[in-house]
């Protein structure tokens, strides 16, 4: 039994670390609590409930989580403090011992936040509860649906959770559990709801999205085809797809689809076949290059973002060189570069060759310079072209920004900006770079 009166009028503060999936889940927690009568605390206002959604992708992330928890406890004396997310799942016991923390919910339990809160509040409380509820990774089964409005014009629709891949450097399968997904029908319904609220763009999120269908015996391509029919949603983007799960059929479908954008994000991690083997990635550079070339053949104007990890164990200098050369030769648009971080319990720790921090930084820098060159060249190719831009809200008297179908950031000068352009798709002519080279200047056509 849930005592709804215990929630009424309470104020909640939220703090999220990590990926888009975490942000979309926090927003769902916010919605769920709001349905129970909880109000979101204004900036600087003291909260009765603090919810911190954590990440554990690197050691630095763990540290930031602890800092955020301490800060929330300090700024909200007496508040009921809940910690969830990947760090909470992996280090539940440790987190529950942090002074001020009341409740730690692991990846399986977070879907039942309201029940846990209600149970905890029905207990006599002197000081903090320090409870922690997490199950073993293999028992993580729940799927918390989530379709949330981002802070701009986009919705984030969670289509999948968990991962069965066990890449040697990664802790996500331990933190989020086995790959699982809801049905296509339920996701179409959530997309229709977003359209009814005026949403125009949806980003599909998940941990290993291409693995969609495992629990429902469906296929990712069928999800894409079904979503493509949702009226009112003008744009879909796929936040990330493992190259081995990006079928040629999917690339072909996106090239002709109504609303799937010519914008891809593909994790490469290393451009050296030796390192890919050490990482237990399920493809080689040949397969990766095939996917990139196919995308460009079908959609020459496509934006392609690529994740790369540098300095992982076993990345000899010649492996990094091979990676650099491989990327240099590929028609990709932007590199997301991550320095490798040692994670306790991962198989990568058994690889003897270690890259020191200074060298990791040097490699990261070299790839970032390459990334900048590629992105600038891609933007330069768009100058003089016409494009449809989905504009985002801007403060009165300020320039407006938005993105083209192929993810070029565009700036409309304040003199041309209009309130009614917010969340509208408008045809523009693309001009030169803006002052800090983060966007192309645009002029409205017609």
Segment near ligand SF4 (CB under 6 A); pick from 3-11, 161-169, 315-323, 335-343: 161-169
Residue 242 or 405: the one with the smaller Cβ distance to ligand SF4 is: 242
Shortest Cβ distance from residue 172 to ligand SF4 (Å)?
Answer: 4
Shortest Cβ distance from residue 420 to ligand SF4 (Å)?
Answer: 41
Please tell me the count of residues contacting ligand SF4 according to CB under 6 A. Answer: 10
170 binds ligand SF4 (CB under 6 A): yes
Shortest Cβ distance from residue 242 to ligand SF4 (Å)?
Answer: 6
For the segment 197-256, give every residue that binds ligand SF4 (CB under 6 A): 207-208, 242
165 binds ligand SF4 (CB under 6 A): yes
Shortest Cβ distance from residue 351 to ligand SF4 (Å)?
Answer: 16
State the Cα–Cα distance between residues 341 and 346, nearest whole angstrom. Answer: 11
166 binds ligand SF4 (CB under 6 A): yes
Instruction: Return the residue of 21, 167, 389, 408 that touches ligand SF4, per CB under 6 A.
Output: 167
168 binds ligand SF4 (CB under 6 A): no
Instruction: Return the residue of 18, 92, 173, 210 that touches ligand SF4, per CB under 6 A.
Output: 173
Q: CA separation (Å) from 18 to 97, 151, 204? A: 22, 16, 17
Residue 89 or 208: the one with the smaller Cβ distance to ligand SF4 is: 208
Give the residues lining the site for ligand SF4 (CB under 6 A). 163, 165-167, 170, 172-173, 207-208, 242
């Amino acid at each position: 039994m849930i005592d709804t009166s215990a929630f009424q009028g309470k104020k909640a503060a939220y703090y999220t670390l990590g990926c888009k999936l975490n942000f979309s889940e926090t927003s769902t927690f916010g919605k769920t609590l709001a349905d129970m009568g909880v109000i979101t605390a204004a900036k600087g206002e003291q909260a009765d409930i603090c919810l911190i959604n954590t990440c554990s992708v690197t050691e630095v992330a763990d540290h930031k989580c602890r800092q955020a928890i301490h800060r929330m406890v300090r700024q909200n004396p007496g508040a009921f403090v809940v910690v969830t997310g990947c760090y909470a799942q992996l280090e539940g016991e440790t987190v529950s011992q942090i002074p001020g923390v009341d409740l730690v919910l692991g990846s399986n339990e977070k879907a039942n936040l309201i029940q846990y809160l209600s149970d905890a509040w029905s207990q006599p409380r002197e000081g903090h509860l320090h409870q922690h509820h997490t199950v073993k990774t293999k028992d993580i089964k729940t799927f918390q649906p989530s379709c949330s409005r981002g802070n701009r014009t986009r919705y984030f629709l969670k289509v999948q959770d968990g991962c069965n891949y066990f890449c040697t450097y990664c802790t996500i399968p331990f933190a989020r559990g086995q790959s699982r997904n809801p049905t296509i029908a339920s996701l179409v319904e959530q997309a229709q709801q977003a359209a009814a609220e005026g949403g125009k763009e949806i980003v599909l999120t998940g941990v290993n999205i291409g693995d969609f269908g495992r629990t429902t015996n469906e296929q990712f391509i069928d999800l894409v085809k079904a979503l493509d029919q949702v009226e009112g949603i003008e744009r879909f983007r796929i936040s990330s797809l493992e190259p081995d799960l990006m079928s040629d059929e999917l690339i072909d479908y996106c090239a002709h689809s109504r609303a799937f954008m010519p914008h891809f994000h593909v994790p490469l991690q290393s451009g050296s076949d030796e390192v890919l083997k050490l990482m237990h990635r399920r493809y080689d550079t040949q397969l990766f290059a095939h996917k990139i070339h196919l995308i460009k053949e079908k959609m020459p104007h496509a934006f392609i973002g690529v994740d790369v990890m540098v300095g992982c164990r076993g990345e000899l200098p010649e492996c990094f060189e091979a990676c650099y050369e491989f990327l240099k030769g590929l028609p990709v648009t932007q590199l997301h570069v991550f320095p490798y971080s040692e994670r306790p319990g991962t198989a990568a720790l058994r690889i003897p060759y270690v890259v020191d921090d200074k060298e990791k930084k040097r490699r990261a820098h070299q790839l970032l310079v390459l990334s900048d060159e590629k992105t600038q060249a891609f933007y330069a190719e768009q100058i003089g072209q016409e494009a449809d831009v989905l504009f985002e809200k801007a403060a009165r008297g300020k320039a407006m920004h938005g993105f083209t179908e192929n993810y070029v950031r565009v700036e409309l000068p304040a003199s041309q900006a209009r309130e009614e352009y917010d969340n509208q798709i408008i045809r523009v002519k693309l001009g030169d770079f803006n002052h800090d080279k983060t966007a192309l200047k645009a002029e409205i056509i017609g």
